[in-house]
Amino acid sequence: MGDYLLGLISRRKSNWSHLGSSPRLPTNRRKILEKYVSESEESLNDKLKKVEVITAEESVKLYTDKKIKYEFDHYSGEVRLVFVKQTVFDGGKLNHGLLAPLKKRVKEVDNRWYVGIMVYGRNMQNVKNEKQVS
């Protein structure tokens, strides 16, 4: 989305060419734009490392309580989602209610990030009490 907004601004600047130099963006517009422009690669890598450690810690806690284990799968920057996938199915199916502590800790790293669950088809047969839909 940030690239889209930057494209709009650069096109708008070209429309101002008849005025000589293009005017600067007002401060409030720059602040709004900064909200959508992606962060630096270094800060993103640092945040992802923290989230991977947090995910491992929360997974161990859930495994000791419910016998459900999950791990960090990937991060999607477009929608700001941290995806986890279930690896141990002994206690049932992983759901968003069980991820509440992880979601809270991920929000501490970046309050705009959310947590999602990746479901891979062939692993679903390992889940107890789960009907398979063909």
pLDDT digits (tens, 9 = 90+) for 15-32: 444 444 445 555 565 565
pLDDT above 60 (res 117): yes
Picking from 94, 99, 98, 83, the residue whose alpha carbon sits closest to that of residue 123 is 94
What is the C-alpha separation between 118 and 123, in angstroms, rounded?
A: 11
Clarify whether residues 51 and 108 are in a common domain: yes
Whether residue 7 lies inside any domain: the answer is yes
State the CB neighbour count (10 A cutoff) for residue 38: 12
Residue 72 DSSP SS3: strand
Whether residue 56 lies inside any domain: the answer is yes
pTM above 0.85, yes or no: no
Whether residue 134 lies inside any domain: the answer is no
Whether residue 109 lies inside any domain: the answer is yes
Whole domain around residue 79: which residue ranges?
41-126
The per-residue pLDDT for range 93-114, each reduced to its tens digit, is: 999 999 999 999 999 999 999 9
pLDDT above 70 (res 10): no
Whether residue 11 lies inside any domain: the answer is yes
Whether residue 118 lies inside any domain: the answer is yes
Clarify whether residues 52 and 17 are in a common domain: no
Clarify whether residues 61 and 118 are in a common domain: yes
Q: What number is the average pLDDT over the span 67-84?
A: 91
Q: Which two tokens stand for residue 75?
A: 């991060």
C-alpha 52, offset from chain centre = 12
pLDDT band of residue 132 (cuts 50, 70, 90) is very low
* Structure-model confidence comparison of residues 44 and 131, the more confident one: 44
Considering its fold, how many domains does the chain have in total? 2
Clarify whether residues 57 and 121 are in a common domain: yes
Whether residue 93 lies inside any domain: the answer is yes
Residue 3 DSSP SS3: helix
**Residue 62: predicted pLDDT:** 94
Clarify whether residues 32 and 78 are in a common domain: no
